[in-house]
Structure 1
Amino acid sequence: MDAGLAAVLGALAGSIATIGAALATGWAQREGARITARSEHRRERREPRHAIYKEFISEASRMRDLTGLFSLDFDLAPTDHINEALVSRCLEVADTVRQKAIDAALAGPKEISENASKIEHLSHELAYTIGAYHRVLTEEWGPTDMNALRDDIRRKLLEESREFGQSLNDFVIRAQVALDDDGSRK
């Protein structure tokens, strides 16, 4: 190989290596800046989310406190516990859970939004089922088989209260994960 050609090829190889190194450095800096920006954005959202999630969990916990007895053995729940005041409190708390669920859903992320909506839906189902059970216990229904109807509602109340409690536990775990996300991963 001619010495001049070797010098030209050496200079060309050096230029290509320099350009490659500059491109790699630029890409790494851009990626680092994106990670930093994403991390800062998540940090700015963390505190408001924390407050929103905390309020939602607090209100949903009130519903669990009102209905948790039904997730155990139904024979442990005295029927005099199921009265108009309980039905009213459950409906009131379910409405508050709805308001807080909207806030939690808007704060995101998607998994939180879906779980908050599920809890909101279950809180109203629970309130309405307790209302139906109260009606079965207090009203005359004519020729229908009251025992079968009462047992069906009791079974539904048991399932709904257990599902509500589990969904709330799932929400707490998902909220912790969302709050721990620092944005460093895609």
Structure 2
Amino acid sequence: MKVSKVGVMDAGTAAVLGALAGSVATIGAALATGWAQREGARITARSEHRKERRQPRYGAYKDFITEASRMNDRVGIFAVDYDSFPFERIDSNFTARCEEAADAVKEKWVEVALAGPKEIAETASRLERLSNAIIFRVLGLHQYTSGERSADQRDLLGIRSRIGEEAQEFEHTLDRFIFLAQAALDDDGSLK
């Protein structure tokens, strides 16, 4: 008889343990389902937020690229072949067009800086600072070529060379900005 009591107890214990295991599995499944739903809602909310920001960013990036490209067109000759750039082309019309382009870059930079994200804002800031540095040097070069200030040929070549370096850096930074802007606009928010 002792054997049958043990058999009955084992069956009762097994029933209780089975019910307990079923409860734990149900609770675990409920927790996993809740987490999955919460994660799905978070991804959806993040995606919607990104979509809402995409259109204003697109406009800000597009306008900034347009103005930065105009600036690049104005001073790109220095980046390509600054050794053969004729000094006589640096007149008041040339400098005025360069200043207008730099002012437009600065104006559009503010919109991009606010639109973000951080890496794009930093790259746009770099372009804005470079455009100011280039204009400063172009204006200085114009003072020398117009006779407002005197300089020897070595000074002129040094300024022109520095403008060339900055113009090349501007062009490369603009390419980087375009790449970053494309990546930011392609991001749908589904990844962390």
Same fold (TM over 0.5): yes
| Partner of residue 183, structure 1 | 189
Amino acid at match of 2:159: I
Amino acid at match of 1:94: A
Q: Which moved more, 1:168-177 or 1:132-141?
A: 132-141
Unaligned runs of 5+ in 2: 1-8
Amino acid at match of 1:122: L
Matched, 1:172 2:186: no
> Partners in 1 of 2:68 and 2:29 — Cα distance?
55
CA deviation string 1:39-89 (max 9, x = no partner): 111111111111110000001111011001110122332222111111122
CA deviation string 1:81-133 (max 9, x = no partner): 11111112212221111110010010000111001101011111111111111
Partner-residue secondary structure (3-state), 1:58:
helix
Matched, 1:16 2:32: no
For the 8 Å contact 2:143–2:149, the answer to whether it is kept is no
| Partner of residue 78, structure 2 | 70
For residues 143-158 of structure 1, what are the structure 2 equivalents within 5 Å?
Answer: 146-158=152-164
Matched, 1:56 2:64: yes
> Partners in 1 of 2:120 and 2:14 — Cα distance?
63
RMSD: 1.3
Matched, 1:108 2:116: yes
User: Normalising by the residue count of structure 1, what TM-score does the alignment of the two structures yield?
Assistant: 0.94
> Partners in 1 of 2:101 and 2:148 — Cα distance?
28
Question: How many pairs align?
Answer: 184
Deviation (angstroms), 1:17? 0.5
For the 8 Å contact 1:136–1:146, the answer to whether it is kept is no
User: Normalising by the residue count of structure 2, what TM-score does the alignment of the two structures yield?
Assistant: 0.91
Partner-residue secondary structure (3-state), 1:72:
helix
Deviation (angstroms), 1:140? 6.1
> Partners in 2 of 1:110 and 1:33 — Cα distance?
25
| Partner of residue 34, structure 2 | 26
Unaligned runs of 5+ in 1: none
Q: Which moved more, 1:128-137 or 1:156-165?
A: 128-137
Choose 1 or 2 for highest CA Rg: 2
For the 8 Å contact 2:113–2:120, the answer to whether it is kept is yes
> Partners in 1 of 2:105 and 2:178 — Cα distance?
15
Partner-residue secondary structure (3-state), 1:182:
coil
| Partner of residue 15, structure 2 | 7
CA deviation string 1:115-166 (max 9, x = no partner): 1101011111111111111112222656xx6122112101101101000011
> Partners in 1 of 2:83 and 2:160 — Cα distance?
10
> Partners in 2 of 1:132 and 1:73 — Cα distance?
19
- Percent of aligned pairs with the same amino acid: 55
> Partners in 2 of 1:94 and 1:64 — Cα distance?
10
